[in-house]
Structure 1
Amino acid sequence: MIVELGHYALVLALALSLVLTVIPAWGAHTRDAALMGVARPAAFAMLFFTAASFVALAAAYVGSDFSVLNVFQNSHSAKPLAYKISGVWSNHEGSMLLWVLILAIFAGLVAWRGAAMPRRLLSYVLSVQGAIAAAFFLFILLTSNPFARVMPAPFEGEGLNPLLQDPGLAIHPPLLYLGYVGFSVAFSFAVGALLEGRIDAVWARFVRPWTLLAWAFLTLGIAMGSYWAYYELGWGGWWFWDPVENASLMPWLAGTALVHSIVVMEKRDALKVWTILLSILAFSLSLIGTFLVRSGVLTSVHSFASDPARGVFILCILVFFIGGGLTLFAWRAPVLRQGGLFAPVSREGALVLNNLFLAAACAAVFIGTLYPLALEAVTGAKISVGPPFFEATFLPLIVPLLLLVPVGQTLAWKRGDLLGVLQRLSAAFGLAFVGTIIVFATTRGGPVAAPLGVGLGFWLILGSLSEITSRSHRRGASVLTVLRRAAGLPRAAWGSAIAHAGVGVTVIGIAATAWGVERIATLKPGEQIALGPYQVTLEGVVPRNGPDYREVAALMVVRDGDRVIGRVEPGKRTFIARTTATSEAGLLTVGLGQIYASVAEVGAADGSAGVRLYWKPWVLLIWLGSVAMAAGGVLSLSDRRARVAAPARRAVPAAVPAE
């Protein structure tokens, strides 16, 4: 009964999304207040029924209702409760229901926070949100129904894909979808502004929090996905330029440019057309990422769909929203009033340059990801575009951008003093240079670019710190006064500095991978192998049983000289339901580095194990920096100026005629 109610709730959510699409938009077009008043209740109702549908599917998973085909194919009665819950979105149908639930949540939040917005703009924004939701509700109901029954009901399910039976499944997809779908709000605001024919600093004030929120979630989602692949797949790497990874990187790059562009528009009422275009492109790239993963054109652990009808349906959604958004932009953008002027050497000019670098980098990733697919579709030829292409095209664009970030964030608005900025940054540059020399002197091996990369990271961190100190310090001021002034700076200033410093932390972690050590060996119990500054000894191979799997683990002890610093226990797991084996990496964190171990073969007659060992210095900085970036975005979001509505413009009083 709960399953049928969930299906019925999904149909009602579709009906409400159609109401939300049509009635408020017509009301905004005709300036009918009663019709525009339908927008907020319809958004709340759509959220309620979408949530009810999702809860019904979750209840079927928790209760192991194998009469539901989706549950039968992706669950098992012996599966731990946590994985039963996260298993709801471990498959194509459930993940699309989560996608549309998050969309409904954002629509509901916009309706809740939209009381202070101009009514016409709010009506257009919620109408576009309703149209996006309607398209995906139709997709789910017509091609990907999560409530389809199987008769007779099987006694037991097939179980979850072993690679997905991990805490990462509970964290990574929701965070990623919050980022993907969050950009739909910026898209809706852009379409609303184009339909209304008005875009100004008030518009930027309303859209900025949603963009920051989506960007922060997407940053965390990408970082979590990277760390999950790092420890789960047993490859020992953190990024592989896989098309699915690139599918999330592209909207992140466009979203980063959008965040900076909105700042210029809010501060200086400039870059209006560019901001609208980026709002459309960020969500368009999110839709393209959804298409790549859900259409079946890619063979990946992420790709759940293999039905061509699904791919065609999603492609139609892409054509309608991306094509429609860009067509509307081409038609209406010329009527938008241009904003304020600024000198090339200014913070606005630096942000424009920042956006150009990011857009070019995004284009490079886009071409490298989609060109092989397009070529195969047109000619049937198959080519592979791998890391060499992206390193040759992406890095030359990103490195100059990172070098310019501290300079850009220190320049004044409207007209900057480049020489004065360089003087203020001289201490940061000097310290970064000294740090680079020290790294050169104290490291051995690895490419020459590695210490330079660490120095670039130092430059970003110290440059961000310099921005805070330059705004807080005054000649002759006491330390207490400086600290008080720093604490009194807007949260947005602190958020920007922390986010930029987080980029520097990540850059240092990436550069440090060059000094990693890899060893491959077959060890017998008691044998020892050197791994960088440490020694790893195999103690033995033991069998273990989990809730729904059997495991053979290699027990290893790690020593630093004569001192034991920890243990790693990589293994091979065989899951009972699917009779498939997975490799489980063993990790030991030492400071900011990690010892990483995986096994190729275990359980030989002599007790030996084939192992692959890595020493990865500073590797945790890659993900800690990403967390700092997202934290900076959230801190900026908490700034009161980003949470309150922009004040209404005062009416200009009419001139009083002379008597």
Structure 2
Amino acid sequence: MIPEFGHFALIIALCLGVLLSVIPMWGAWRNNEKAMALAPGLAMGVLVFVAISFAVLTVAFLQDDFSVKVVASNSNSLLPSMYKFSAVWGNHEGSLLLWVLILAGWTAAVALFSSQLPLTMLARVLSVMGFIGVGFMSFSLFTSNPFERLLPGTPADGNDLNPLLQDPGLIIHPPLLYMGYVGFSVAFAFAIAALLGGRLDAGWARWSRPWTNVAWAFLTFGIMLGSWWAYYELGWGGWWFWDPVENASFMPWLAGVALLHSLAVTEKRGLFKSWTVLLAIFTFSLSLLGTFLVRSGVLTSVHAFAADPERGLYILVFLAIVVGGSLTLYALRAPTVSSRVTFGWVSRESLLLVNNVVFSVATLTVLFGTLFPLFMDALGQGKYSVGPPYFNAVFLPLMALLVPFMGVGPLSRWKSDTGSRWLRDLALPAVAVVVCSLTLPLLGADGFNLWVALALLLAGWLAVGLLRDLRDKTRNAPSLARGLARLAPSYWGMVMAHLGFAMTIIGVVATSQYSVERDLKMVPGQVETVAGYTFRFDDLAAVRGPNYVADEARLSVTQDGEHVVNLAPQKRRYLASGSIMTEAAIDPGLWRDLYVAMGEPVGEQGAWAIRLHYKPMVRWMWLGAIFMGLGGLVTVADKRYRRRRAAVAAPGGIDGSPA
């Protein structure tokens, strides 16, 4: 009866969600304070019962209850306990319940930490989030019930979890990704609530901004972990392939960047109000679109969940209701929220305008490349494939165009500035960056590389702009330490995020230009040299894991006669499913990775196909992403986000706070 208890808890949560979506909204319409005051309690109730439901499903996985269909399909008695736990969301039904749990958590967090909000605003925000929760809980209960039983005929054992998902990175990757996806619902709810109230002022932006920062930070961490997982788990040494499901998470990230900067302008200057609302709608809509792409069955991807058309149709209808309804409300209210504040073309506002345009266009190019094959297939025009050549050709130039403006942004002034001041402050640093970008690539063994020089130029320009701005902000302080200490956390968050972006640029270009890859046939005792490292295939051994058997190649690596590392890649066969998987062996480092993966046995005498990689600075990409995500979290510590209601409407900023 335990699974039925979880099912019943989810039904109660749905009923509470319906009340949350209706009663507080009615109370806001009728100015009924008692009805509006019910919103926080209902939000907490939804979280409690969804958490109970999720806990019951988790217990079913950990106890090998194969009478539950989703457990029998995605677990096995031989599966290690930590993977039984991650198997809860390693399938469509369980991952959807995790989505609902995280959404309930975000809703309860808003109820708990937004007590300073006007009651009417809080009621509308929670009601909108309750409506979204009702949509996903209905989806779970009516089309994707995680508690469906296999009675009678309970199998003796389960089918096993997909071997690709039996990895520590996949334990935390989906929750982080969903925290970002679902977190944008808060910005969406604030936007809809503000439109319903007909008031889009600095207070709305100030309250929405920290939630958006946190959601974007979690999405950044989730994408980073997904890239890292693909790098070491799939065995091909790649970190991004412009896969449609990869794009499904990347699109709301790009739109979220534009939303963050637009919220900053709305908060500080009262500008871009209409655009900020539209970006909030657009960003969350892309999160819903990603859900449709992953769960509808229209995509074939290692990341996608196999799903039937009924599920895809449900999400498509829900997406149409959310997007159509919010855009209709926007069209009705847009004339009342237009900005009347002016700014000069040479100003921080103009630079942020460029930022928003570039990121919006970048999002649309990725969206077009992702959906074009689906549209052509639906129209009966045949199968089309849009891969890395398209995305690299249209996306990378946009990012290169953006960086020069990012370098000037921190130094620029609100409302009006002058190009001569920019030139005076940045002329000398610009010359230094140009010289370094032209000379440093000459130190490489392969001679001058134009793309590396361009990456150093862009990243260096971004860094010197930040350093010059730090110097200006601490120039009049009694000491450097005191000057740095008085800068706002939101400013430090901006610095970290922009430096992380610079690190990512260097990592992407360095690893793509200087990587060395060799696919070889090797036998025990054979020696090969790659990028100055000597790889010796010492021997081949059979090993056994908790639920797999594997052939393990043991290689020793030396450089200039000095031992560097021993590497042991594996070719695994999982016992329950018979699936064959590659487990790469990696020697990580700040400046380079050594990467070895096994292919298939070739001929006789113990020969194997072996792939050897030398990956310079590949970890700079993920370190850069970590810096960006931490920057998003650091901004939330800013004191102005914790001010009382009286301060919410004040449009002014804090000294040292960023755009």
Moved more, 314-323 or 339-348: 339-348
Matched, 1:456 2:466: no
Q: Which TM-score applies when normalising by structure 2?
A: 0.96
Quickly say closer, same or farther: Cα 1:70–1:445, change in 2 above 3 A: farther
Matched, 1:175 2:173: no
SS of alignment partner, residue 419 of structure 1: helix
Alignment of 1:177-576 (within 5 A): 177-443=178-444, 444=446, 448-474=450-476, 481-513=479-511, 514-576=513-575
Corresponding residue for residue 620 of structure 1 = 619
Corresponding residue for residue 157 of structure 1 = 158
Identity of aligned residues (%): 46
Corresponding residue for residue 10 of structure 2 = 10
Q: Output the CA distance in 2 between the equivalents of 1:8 and 1:337.
A: 47
Q: Output the CA distance in 2 between the equivalents of 1:285 and 1:650.
A: 30
Alpha-carbon distance, 1:618 to partner: 0.6
1:190 is matched by which residue type in structure 2?
Answer: A
Q: Output the CA distance in 2 between the equivalents of 1:128 and 1:447.
A: 52
SS of alignment partner, residue 245 of structure 2: helix
Q: Give a deviation string over 1:247-287, Cα, whole Å, max 9, x none.
A: 11110010000000111111111111111000000000000
Q: Output the CA distance in 2 between the equivalents of 1:187 and 1:229.
A: 31
SS of alignment partner, residue 550 of structure 2: strand
Corresponding residue for residue 636 of structure 1 = 635
Q: Output the CA distance in 2 between the equivalents of 1:426 and 1:224.
A: 38
Quickly say closer, same or farther: Cα 1:275–1:650, change in 2 above 3 A: closer
SS of alignment partner, residue 646 of structure 2: coil
Quickly say closer, same or farther: Cα 1:84–1:445, change in 2 above 3 A: farther
Corresponding residue for residue 96 of structure 2 = 96
Corresponding residue for residue 657 of structure 1 = none
Alpha-carbon distance, 1:449 to partner: 1.6
Q: Give a deviation string over 1:377-431, Cα, whole Å, max 9, x none.
A: 1224111111111112112211110121011221011112222123222343233
Q: Give a deviation string over 1:82-130, Cα, whole Å, max 9, x none.
A: 1011110000000000001100000000000121101111111111101
Alpha-carbon distance, 1:640 to partner: 1.6
Q: Which TM-score applies when normalising by structure 1?
A: 0.96
Q: Output the CA distance in 1 between the equivalents of 2:222 and 2:340.
A: 35
Residue pair 1:598, 1:612 contacting (<8 A) in 2 also: yes
Moved more, 361-370 or 434-443: 434-443
Quickly say closer, same or farther: Cα 1:446–1:569, change in 2 above 3 A: farther
Moved more, 338-347 or 192-201: 338-347
Q: Output the CA distance in 1 between the equivalents of 2:256 and 2:327.
A: 17
Quickly say closer, same or farther: Cα 1:239–1:445, change in 2 above 3 A: farther
Alpha-carbon distance, 1:339 to partner: 4.5
Alpha-carbon distance, 1:337 to partner: 4.8
Quickly say closer, same or farther: Cα 1:525–1:649, change in 2 above 3 A: closer
1:410 is matched by which residue type in structure 2?
Answer: L
Q: Output the CA distance in 2 between the equivalents of 1:14 and 1:575.
A: 39
Q: Output the CA distance in 2 between the equivalents of 1:572 and 1:583.
A: 5
Quickly say closer, same or farther: Cα 1:650–1:94, change in 2 above 3 A: closer
Residue pair 2:441, 2:449 contacting (<8 A) in 1 also: no
Residue pair 1:541, 1:608 contacting (<8 A) in 2 also: no
Stretches of structure 1 that go unaligned for 5 or more consecutive residues are 652-659
Corresponding residue for residue 26 of structure 1 = 26
Let me know the Cα RMSD of the aligned residues. Answer: 1.5
Matched, 1:35 2:29: no
Q: Output the CA distance in 2 between the equivalents of 1:87 and 1:647.
A: 47
Q: Output the CA distance in 2 between the equivalents of 1:396 and 1:337.
A: 32
Alpha-carbon distance, 1:648 to partner: 4.5
Q: Output the CA distance in 1 between the equivalents of 2:370 and 2:466.
A: 33
Residue pair 1:257, 1:358 contacting (<8 A) in 2 also: yes
Q: Output the CA distance in 2 between the equivalents of 1:232 and 1:650.
A: 50
Residue pair 1:69, 1:148 contacting (<8 A) in 2 also: yes
Alpha-carbon distance, 1:458 to partner: 2.1
Corresponding residue for residue 78 of structure 1 = 78
1:55 is matched by which residue type in structure 2?
Answer: A
Alpha-carbon distance, 1:180 to partner: 0.4
Corresponding residue for residue 122 of structure 2 = 122
Alpha-carbon distance, 1:447 to partner: 5.1
Corresponding residue for residue 656 of structure 1 = none
Quickly say closer, same or farther: Cα 1:556–1:197, change in 2 above 3 A: same
Q: Give a deviation string over 1:40-92, Cα, whole Å, max 9, x none.
A: 11000001000110000001011111110000000011111110111100000
2:369 is matched by which residue type in structure 1?
Answer: G
SS of alignment partner, residue 115 of structure 1: coil
Q: Output the CA distance in 2 between the equivalents of 1:301 and 1:267.
A: 43
Q: Output the CA distance in 2 between the equivalents of 1:465 and 1:645.
A: 34
Alpha-carbon distance, 1:305 to partner: 3.0
Q: Output the CA distance in 2 between the equivalents of 1:463 and 1:243.
A: 35
Q: Give a deviation string over 1:522-581, Cα, whole Å, max 9, x none.
A: 112121111112111111111110000001111111111100111221111000010110
2:567 is matched by which residue type in structure 1?
Answer: V
Quickly say closer, same or farther: Cα 1:323–1:650, change in 2 above 3 A: closer
1:309 is matched by which residue type in structure 2?
Answer: E
Alpha-carbon distance, 1:629 to partner: 0.5
Q: Output the CA distance in 2 between the equivalents of 1:219 and 1:644.
A: 27
Q: Output the CA distance in 2 between the equivalents of 1:594 and 1:631.
A: 24
2:407 is matched by which residue type in structure 1?
Answer: P
Q: Give a deviation string over 1:228-255, Cα, whole Å, max 9, x none.
A: 0111111211111111111111100100
1:499 is matched by which residue type in structure 2?
Answer: A
Q: Output the CA distance in 1 between the equivalents of 2:591 and 2:177.
A: 26
Q: Output the CA distance in 2 between the equivalents of 1:29 and 1:341.
A: 34
SS of alignment partner, residue 519 of structure 1: strand
Corresponding residue for residue 655 of structure 2 = none
Alpha-carbon distance, 1:435 to partner: 2.3
